[in-house]
Amino acid sequence: MLIEQLINGLTLGSIYAIVALGFTLVFGVLGIINMAHGEIFMFGAFIGVMITAMFDAPLWVAFGASILITAILGFFLETFALRPLRNKPGVSHLAPLISTIGVSIFLENLSHHLFGSGNKPFEAPFAQVSFQVGSITVYLVQIVIFVISIILMVALSIWLGKTKAGKALRATAENLETASLLGVDTKRIITMTVIIASAIGGIAGILVGMAFNSVNPQMGLSMGLKGLAIIILGGMGNVRGAMAGGLILGLAETFVVVYGDSGYKDAIAFLAIIVILLIRPQGLFGKKITT
């Protein structure tokens, strides 16, 4: 029982971590809370549903399509909602926040038109496959989700730490002006960051669809709010912090459902950050993009 819950918690937590990664990358580089990230994530989930349900395509095609669409959404977000506000005199730090809220309102209502407002089932082909290890039941879906999340996190860490583009991204996050003086094309890096963050959101969307077997236009909001809580928990702009914060939240929620009152599950994230911010405002793991 305990181990099963632990597995549930880790599965949920690894999804949270992936969602939070998208927030933290954008915050690390741009210093902006991207309120539209939840909706981009939701779009990714719906694209996955459409591809698998309508065209009966295999899962990897769904991932590919979802990544493509969310990457395009990320590009639009950067081009139309973020870039026009950058380096403009007299723009308060509120403006990009509001602008991304505008994008989130637009996308949420667009999805009502495109996908309908109800729940859509998301059947992974291997949804019912499970293993029995002693008295413990493990579903293949859980393993797939966990493995994909881990691969994604490791790949991102390596990319940020070892590749030229990743290093340029970190330099930009550290200090935009210095990076641009050192010859980093910061405009390109910023666009790339928003696109990558959005594509990661798309992947997370499919993972959530598989985990909960259902997709709806409101899921962007609830997941988005949790993602925000996690990046505060893990330290704004901190990649490892986002991963750890996601896992902690996933485990905490699972155990509250098991041993406490499930109704308060959704409040845990925010109670945690309220406490964290009062004790350790820089988050559990400090700031900035590190590997």
Partner 1 sequence: MLAELFNPYYLQIGCFILINIILALSVYVPLSTGQLSLASAGFMGLGAYTSALLTIHFDLPILVGIIAGTLIAGLIGILIGLPTLRLQGVYLAIVTLGFGEVIRVVFINWESLTNGSVGISGIPHIGREILKTLKGFGFNPQSMGLQNNQFIFLSIFVLLLIIAIFLVWFFRRQHYSRVGRAYAAIKLDEKAAESMGINITYYKVLAFTQGALLAGFAGSIYAHVLAYISPADFSYHRAVDILVFTVFGGSEVIWGPVFGAIFLTFLPEVLRFISEYRYMIYGLMIIILMAVRPQGLIDVNIINWIKSKKRSKRGVTHGSGSEKSM
Torsion on CA atoms 243, 172, 38, 99, rounded to nearest 10: 150
**Shortest approach of partner 1 to residue 193 CB, angstroms?**
17
Residue 9 CA to residue 138 CA, distance in Å, equals 12
CB 19 within 8 A of CB 204: yes
Q: For the chain, where are the alpha helices, taking DSSP H only? A: 2-30, 37-54, 59-76, 94-115, 140-162, 164-174, 176-181, 186-212, 219-234, 239-259, 265-279
Residue 177 CA to residue 62 CA, distance in Å, equals 39
Q: Which residues of this protein are in contact with partner 1, per CB under 8 A?
A: 33, 80-81, 84-85, 88, 90-99, 101-110, 113, 221, 225, 228-229, 232, 236, 261, 263-264, 266-267, 269-271, 273-274, 277-278, 281
**Shortest approach of partner 1 to residue 123 CB, angstroms?**
28
**Shortest approach of partner 1 to residue 221 CB, angstroms?**
6
Q: Take residue 260 and report the two structure tokens written for it.
A: 């406490």
CB-nearer residue toward partner 1: 96 or 205: 96
CB-nearer residue toward partner 1: 93 or 164: 93
CB-nearer residue toward partner 1: 33 or 244: 33
**Shortest approach of partner 1 to residue 256 CB, angstroms?**
12
CB-nearer residue toward partner 1: 102 or 166: 102
Which neighbouring-strand residues pair with 214? Answer: 121
**Shortest approach of partner 1 to residue 129 CB, angstroms?**
35
Residue 107 CA to residue 214 CA, distance in Å, equals 19
CB 123 within 8 A of CB 58: no
**Residues 6 or more apart whose Cβ sits within 8 Å of residue 129:** 139, 140, 141
CB-nearer residue toward partner 1: 95 or 140: 95
CB 46 within 8 A of CB 114: yes
**Shortest approach of partner 1 to residue 90 CB, angstroms?**
6
**Shortest approach of partner 1 to residue 244 CB, angstroms?**
18
**Shortest approach of partner 1 to residue 92 CB, angstroms?**
7
- Phi, then psi, of 16 in degrees rounded to 5: -55, -40
CB-nearer residue toward partner 1: 107 or 203: 107
3-class secondary-structure state, position 284? coil
CA angle (149, 150, 155) in 5-degree steps = 100
CB-nearer residue toward partner 1: 145 or 219: 219
CB 157 within 8 A of CB 84: no
CB-nearer residue toward partner 1: 153 or 217: 217
